[in-house]
Amino acid sequence: MSSLNAKKTVVFSAITLSMVLLLLHFKKSGKRKYKSNVDVAERSLDVDTASPRSEDYAHQDFTQNTSVTVQDVPTSLLRILQENGIVPPRTPNQIKVVLDVVDLETPHTKLRYFWSNKTKDSSRGDWVPASTVKIFAALGALLRLNELGLGPDTNVEFKDTNQKIKLRELVYSALVPSDNMSYNRLVQLAGHDKIKELFSQTYPDTELNKPYLLDDWKKLTRNNTNLSAPEIVLNDSIVLPRSPYSPPKIAGSQQACTTLVDLNNVLYNIVMDKTELSQENAGFLKNVLETRKQRGEEFSNSILRQIQNRQFRVFSKHGFNGTVYSQAVLLLDIPNRKLYTISAVGSPGDRTCLNDVGRAIGQLLNKNTL
Amino acid sequence: MKVLLVSTTTHTDKSTSKKLLAVLKMLFEQQDSTVRYVDANTLHIVKNLSCYAGGKFNCASYDAGKYRCWAHKLSHDTPDEYGGADEMGVLYDGFAWADIVVFGTSVRWESHSALLQTIIERMTNLQNRAVVYGEANPLAKKKCGVVVTGHNAKGQSVASHLLEVFDWLGFQTDIFNQIVWQKTNNLHSEVPEVTDLPALETYLKSTDAAQMISKFVVLMSETRKKNN
C-alpha cells in the first residue's frame, strides 16, 4: 500500500503542477481570447481556432497510474474520516456501514471500508434487513425467467389465487413502493430451491425464508410460507409446476437475512452486468433500482447533498421495519471512473437515523480521496 | 484528427456546456487536431417531417436533394412554409468532415435539449442509408462523445442515454465518452444564481476536472476502435 500511496502522491503532484501551469498560462494568455472563439455563437465551420495552449493538461496518461491492490482487510471508515478532517457524528443508535470503492479502470478490485459502533458484530442474522432483501427476490425471479428466454413483459399467473400480473409490475412494486405481497410472489416465482442454488456461492449469507405481511399473505394464499409455490403459468403457455416446501439453507432459520457485504455485491453485480441476465432484463432491473423513491432514501440523500461538481447515477433499495432502517445504495460516476457501493443499517430510530452518518460519508466522497 | 464540437444548448450567454466545449477545443488543438465549432442554436434547423412514416425509402431518398433530406430540400424550395431555409447542412457537412464529433447539451427536465433532439431526429437520413439502402453508414468510422451539464438532475443518465442513441445512429461510442458536470446532487436545490458558470470555473481548477477532461480527450483521440 505504501508504494501505491507514493505512486498516487507523484501522480497528484504532477497533476497539481500541470494545473498551476495551466492557470498561469490562462492568466498570461487572457481569457477573453479564447472566449471570443468559442463562447460567442458561430454560424460557420471556419472558425478561427487560435486558443491558449497548456502543455501538460491533455497529455497526462492517467491510465498508467490507477492500479489498486486487492484489500484483504477492510479499512476503518472512521479512521479515514478523521484523517480527512471530518468529525464523525456521535450517534446514539447503533450503526453499521460497509463502503466499497471501485476504480472503473480496474473493476476487478475493490477497496472496502467498514464502520460499526456495535460491540458485538456478527453479520449474519445480526440485524433485520427488512425490504432491502427484495433486490434478491427480484433478481432471482428475473434470472429464472431469463433462463426461459422471457423478460419483464411476461404474463405471470399464480394458480392458487388466479392472480394475473406482469413480471414488470411485480418487480416494480416490490422495489419502488416496496410492496410486501409482490416480494412474496417474486420469491415464489424464483423458486426457493432456485434461490438457494443461484445464490449459494455469490450471496452466501442471504436467505429469503419468510413471507412478509404474514397475516395478509395467509388470508390471500392460505399458506403461511413462501418456501413453497403454487403452479405458475407464464404467458398462458409455460407451466411451472407446483413446488413443494423447500427447507431453509440453515435448519431453523425462519427469517429473511442478508449482510451489508451481500447487498453491496448484489448491487454491484446488477449495475456492472455481472449477472446472467440478458441485456434487456438487466437494463430493466437497473432502471427500477434507479427510479427515485418517494421515501426511504434519506441516507443516500444525506450523502448526495454534500457533493458538489460531480454527478452520480444512484441505484438503491431501502428497508424499514419500525425500528431498523437500512439502505443499500450504489453511486456511479462514469466520467470520474468511480463506483461506490454503500450499505448501512441503523437502529433504533426512524428513517432519519442514518442522516448524520450519510452527511459524514458525503463530505468524504466530496473530497474524492478514496 | 478533425474534431467537430456542436453546442446544442439554448443558453446564449454564460453556458456551462459551452465553457466545457471551449476547454475541449483548447485541448484538442494542443494535440494538433483541427477543431471546428458550431453553435447549433444559431442555425435554423427545420423539424423532421416523419418521412420514414411515409415509407422507409422516403427518408434518405435520392430525390431529396444534396443531403437526401426532404426537410432540407423542401424548406429551400419554399422557405416561407418552413420559417426559412433549413441550415442543417452545416452539420451534415461537419459530420462528413470530422473524425470526432462532440455534442454539448444542457440538462432540461432530466433530458437533453430539445434542439439536440431535433438534430438527432434529422440524422435519421444518415442511418437510413445503411439500414434501408444498404450503403455504408456515413457516421460509421467517426467517434462520438457528449458533454452534459446541469444544475442538479440526472446528467449522467442523460449522457449515457445519448451515447446509446449515437451508437444506434452509427457512430463509434464508448460508455466513457462523456463529460458530465453538475453543480450539486441535491435534487431540491433551486438555482439561486443566474448561472452556474462561476462554480464550473472553480471546478475546472481542480485535480478532479483535470483528470476527467484529460481522460476524455485521450480516449477520444485513441485510434483504436472501442465500441460498446
Digit-coded pLDDT (tens) for A78-99: 889 988 999 888 877 888 999 9
| Percent of residues, chain B, with pLDDT higher than 70 | 96
Q: Which one has a higher pLDDT value, A64 or B34? A: B34
What integer pLDDT is reported at residue A104 of this predicted model? 87
Look at A335 and B207 and tell me if their CB atoms are within 8 Å: no
pLDDT band at B142 (very low <50, low <70, confident <90, very high): very high
What integer pLDDT is reported at residue A257 of this predicted model? 85
On whether the CB atoms of residues A80 and A97 are closer than 8 A, the answer is: no
Enclosing H/E stretch for B59: none
Digit-coded pLDDT (tens) for A310-340: 888 999 999 998 888 999 999 999 888 899 9
Domain ranges of chain A: 1-65, 130-257
pLDDT band at B13 (very low <50, low <70, confident <90, very high): confident
Q: What is the identity of the amino acid at A193? A: D
Digit-coded pLDDT (tens) for A256-269: 888 899 999 999 99
What integer pLDDT is reported at residue A209 of this predicted model? 86
**Chain position carrying cell 418552413:** B82
ipTM: 0.74
Rounded to 5°, the CA angle B162-B163-B169 comes to: 90
Enclosing H/E stretch for A165: strand A163-166
- What order do you get walking across the sheet with A155-158 strand by strand? A163-166, A155-158, A232-234, A238-240
Convert A1-36 to b/e letters by CB count within 10 Å (16 or more is b). eeeeeeeeeebeeebeebbeebeebbeeeeeeebee
- Does B167 have pLDDT greater than 80? yes
Exposure of B59 in the CB half-sphere (CA atoms within 13 A): 21
Query: Which chain A residue has the Cα nearest residue B22?
Result: A38
Cell, residue A112: 472496502
The pairing of strands A338-347 and B178-182 is unpaired
**Chain position carrying cell 491492490:** A69
Cell, residue A368: 474524492
On whether the CB atoms of residues A365 and A340 are closer than 8 A, the answer is: yes
Question: Residue A342: its chain B contacts at CB < 8 A?
Answer: none
Interface test with B, best of A20, A286, A311 (most B CBs within 10 A): A311
Average pLDDT of span B200-206: 90
Q: Which one has a higher pLDDT value, A140 or A74? A: A140
pTM: 0.78
Distance from CA of B106 to the nearest CA of A (A): 14
Look at B156 and A57 and tell me if their CB atoms are within 8 Å: no
* Residue-by-residue DSSP string for A268-318: HHHHTT-SS--HHHHHHHHHHHHSPPSSS-HHHHHHHTT-BS---EEEEEE
Distance from CA of B57 to the nearest CA of A (A): 29
Angle between helices B114-122 and B124-131 (to 10 degrees): 30
Per residue, what are the HEC states of B153-222?
CCHHHHHHHHHHHHHHHCCECCCCCEEEEECECCCCCCCCCCCCHHHHHHHCCCHHHHHHHHHHHHHHHC
On whether the CB atoms of residues B145 and B176 are closer than 8 A, the answer is: no
Among candidates A42, A104, A312 on the partner chain, residue whose Cβ is nearest the Cβ of B185: A312
Question: Residue B210: its chain A contacts at CB < 8 A?
Answer: 15, 18-19, 22, 57, 60
Among candidates A34, A44, A311 on the partner chain, residue whose Cβ is nearest the Cβ of B185: A311
Look at A42 and B42 and tell me if their CB atoms are within 8 Å: yes
Question: Residue B93: its chain A contacts at CB < 8 A?
Answer: 45
Interface test with B, best of A12, A309, A363, A368 (most B CBs within 10 A): A309
Tell me the count of A-B CB pairs closer than 8 A. 165
Digit-coded pLDDT (tens) for A332-352: 998 888 999 999 999 888 888
What integer pLDDT is reported at residue B184 of this predicted model? 82
Which of A175, A184, A199 has the alpha carbon at shortest distance from A317? Answer: A175
Query: Which chain A residue has the Cα nearest residue B24?
Result: A58
Distance from CA of A58 to the nearest CA of B (A): 5
CA-based diameter of chain A, in Å? 80
Among candidates B27, B37, B186 on the partner chain, residue whose Cβ is nearest the Cβ of A38: B37
Which of A344, A368, A366 has the alpha carbon at shortest distance from A355? Answer: A344
On whether the CB atoms of residues A345 and A133 are closer than 8 A, the answer is: no
Exposure of A350 in the CB half-sphere (CA atoms within 13 A): 2
Average pLDDT of span A206-228: 88
Taking the C-alpha atoms of residue B156 and residue A313, their distance in angstroms, rounded to an integer, is 6
Angle between helices A279-290 and A260-271 (to 10 degrees): 120
- As beta bridge partners, residue A347 has A94
Q: What is the identity of the amino acid at B198? A: P
pLDDT band at B211 (very low <50, low <70, confident <90, very high): confident
ω before A152 within 30° of 0 (cis)? Answer: no
Which of A70, A69, A273, A365 has the alpha carbon at shortest distance from B175? Answer: A273
- Does A222 have pLDDT greater than 50? yes
Domains within chain B, CATH numbers bracketed: 2-47+96-221 (3.40.50.360)
- As beta bridge partners, residue A114 has A76, A98
Task: For chain A, give percent helix, strand, coil, nearest 5.
Answer: 40, 20, 40
Which of A307, A313, A340 has the alpha carbon at shortest distance from B157? Answer: A313
Query: Which chain A residue has the Cα nearest residue B215?
Result: A62
Average pLDDT of chain A, as a whole number: 79
